[in-house]
Amino acid sequence: MLPTARLLQSSRSKAIGFIGLGAMGREMASNVLQKTFQANSDKDLTFVVHDSFDLSTTRFLTANTSLFPGRNIVPATSPAGVASLASTIITVVPSSPQVKEVYLAENGILQGLRGLGDPKEPSNSTLCIDCTTLDPLVAVQTADEIKQAGGGGQGQDQGAFDMIDSPMSGGVVGARAGTLSFMVGSNSHQSFAHAEPTLLKMGSRAIHCGKNGNGLIAKIANNLLLGISMLATSEAMLLGTVHGLSPQILAHIINTSTGKCWSSEVNNPAPGALRGTDKSPPAERDYDGGFAAKLQAKDLGLALNAAQQRGVPTPLGHLATNIYKALGENPEYMDKDFSVAFKALSTAVGKIPTSDEPHAE
């Protein structure tokens, strides 16, 4: 349904906007839309969407308008258009450059907010929830500009506009299932409380990590450990299998011993390692799906930047970053799940071990 602009603007305080309908965003947006409309029959309630690729917006509208006939699910031609129509705005874009473009560039969210008029008008109050994984410094600087436009920011009282960082963990599977975990950085407990019900329509938990930027620090610290542990698991599984151990037996030993970690127990990189369990890692599908190696490389780079800013030594982080940077630039591996590191390391021994090979008794 495409209602008039006047009607949409009059119901702005009830509207939710969503920008970024990629692999993660479209699943998250669908969950917010469906759970919001199922819980609220108010015909004035509006859901506004935008993506830089028109086809992504069209596909989203096609998939969802038929589920809720007569409800207001509308496209906006720009982030500024979303800001003019929605008081709660969720953004999910690739990284720092796209966040700056969506929020601060011409026809961005900031321009849309400034076009609302007096920010002190209650109907102009706006909360921006950015779920992107990006440089924490860029996130804080962007949030400050949004806050200042609403009369807040840089130590001043809470203004009419706020922006929080809320990166997530759980991947596309978690986005589709609505089981994501959100790590939230917000100077305002009030803004976190405002955002939490919306976040819980997309995930199973939202943790307030402290001030703006802290959500991102938590996320990239976790992904620093994740990248290192996946490489260590890959090395261990490769060592055992090239010496004749069954990947299933080795995985069982590791997962009932002190070496157990998420990379060994849930996303084991060795094909066949988790057969007979309830797990189905990307290694069973030639590493398709999951968390792309190029994205792991990006997050490790963010972690190293954050570490450098505070003088934190990261010797293992540097090694992991160099490896994933190489994987992320290799067309064979870049879009595969980051557990493909096992396959890449296997090339050094001339073959990829399989669960069907003979093993030591």
Residue 359, pLDDT score: 46
Domain 219-349 carries which CATH code? 1.10.1040.10
Residue type, 145: E
Task: State CA 120 to chain mean position distance.
Answer: 32
Identical fold at 5-212 and 219-349?
no
Contacts of residue 325, Cβ cutoff 8 Å, sequence gap at least 6: 297, 300, 301
Question: Any idea where the domains of the chain sit in the sequence?
Answer: 5-212, 219-349
Residue 353, pLDDT score: 59
d(CA 267, CA 223): 14
Within 10 A of 220 (CB to CB), how many other CB atoms are there?
27
Mean pLDDT, contiguous 10-residue spans, the chain (361 residues): 51 94 96 95 91 97 92 96 98 97 98 94 95 98 96 71 96 92 97 98 98 98 97 98 97 98 97 95 94 96 97 98 98 97 90 54 40
Q: What is the pLDDT of residue 279?
A: 93
Note the pLDDT of residue 1.
Answer: 44
Q: Which of 219, 298, 336, 343 is catalytic?
A: 219
**What is the CATH topology of the domain spanning 5-212?**
Rossmann fold (3.40.50)
C-alpha R_g of the chain = 22
325 is catalytic: no
How are beta strands 168-169 and 180-185 bridged, if at all?
A: antiparallel
pTM of the entire structure?
0.90
